[in-house]
Structure 1
Amino acid sequence: MSAGFDVDALALLFVEARGHRAKLDVLPEDTRPADADDAYAAQEATLRALNADIGGWKVGAKTHVGPIHGAPLPADGMHKTGARLSMQSFGKAGLELEVAFRLGRRFDANSGPYSDEDVIAAIESVHAAIEVVASRFAAWPDVEKPWQLADLQNHGALIVGEGVPYDTAFPFVSPAMTFTFDGAPLFEGVPANPAGDPRRLLAWTVNHSVSRGLAVERGTVLTAGSYTGIAFPAALGTAVGTIEGLPAVEMHFA
């Protein structure tokens, strides 16, 4: 970590912001993550301060060949399809439709490294998922990138649909899909993940986790980036994501 960076103080700020539904403005100088290493340390400190188990990971990349970044997701923020969530608890909340993968084996801490083939062979099921994107920062999205990464990569909640067994024939690069909110479309155009095939993100996630001393438990869900961009519902209602070949996923803002 950077010299003088108080990771535990930043984690406490995040925890207090979550608990009080508050938004952070400018961070005190000694709590400002300068780079990805600081941000990842802050993610882990935040989960420790929350006393939260890891229920999943979010991972993404801005381009097909660009750098990969991820964040562990608190287990209590993982929900089954049909979940009812308070929109107010997130402040400004965005919705993304994603493909998620559930792993059927454990990867031990401090093991590996693992190849793409190792991790893909461990996929137990594939799911449609809706991520609620939310920030603890008042100025989001106009916030320094390491600060966003430290804030669990702007994670609010993850709603995971029922799964189907992994099939190599599934069109992971651009599956057909619809994403609606109270029946109105949340995106138009051709769905595409900026990372390309999201399976390329999975081994990075496992290796990142175990290299930092964090086991990846059997049943962990990895959600691998939006196909629809981000949409911001203006009112309460129901989001439904349908990805061809997968059971639909649904969530309700109440």
Structure 2
Amino acid sequence: MSAVAIIPARGGSQRIASKNIKLFNGQPMIAWSIRAALASGLFDRVVVSTDDEDIACIAREHGAQVPFMRPAELADARTGTAAVIQHALATLDQAFDYACCIYATAPLIQVRFLRQGYELLSAAPLASYAFSVCSFGFPVQRALLINEAGTLAPLHPEFRNVRSQDLPTAYQDAGQFYWGRSDAWLRGDVIFSPKSVPVILPRHLVQDIDSEEDWLRAQYLYAALLAGGELDG
């Protein structure tokens, strides 16, 4: 079976300048995703989809291919991931059975979970996708809102008196990778649906990076995980 890794990495990050190539622990951020994809041995090609020449240059330096530049209409802040993967699959001069979207800002990504995702999807012939998730640290049913008066109110009042241990575990998108059958991507199958199977990651290996605070937390996590011997490399 053939597989391609596609790493979306547009230029013009709004909240963290040049986020995709900013140095993280001495390496451009995108290099961590490229390295994991190459080290996994799962992919016939590791491709970066970008509209930015600097990102393209750095991606090539770290072993990825940039066989096309992404068009401007697919490189704004409102463009969804699925559209980028569809464009890449339609543009590449080769067909693949599987396509794995790996986010460029996932420095904690681990090869073992990439492999697990492939194994789970290939073992589930009726599934379209397998992607990384982790459990919420506290029951989402007990979430609170701050209202217009500046006071607190329960998001789900019906659960206010239910013990947390009696509530089902809820999961969130870990924002690292999305394995999919190529035909599922091209059909536009919905990712967050019963067509997907979960690759469950421990919470301490997950950190979304959308703000400077997120970036700092990711650096702390990386240092602690490295010291504890929990990272692939």
**TM-score category (smaller protein):** under 0.3
- Higher CA-based Rg: 2
Select the structure with the greater relative contact order (CA < 8 A; seq sep ≥ 6).
1
- Larger proportion of helix: 2
Normalising to structure 1: TM-score of the pair?
0.26
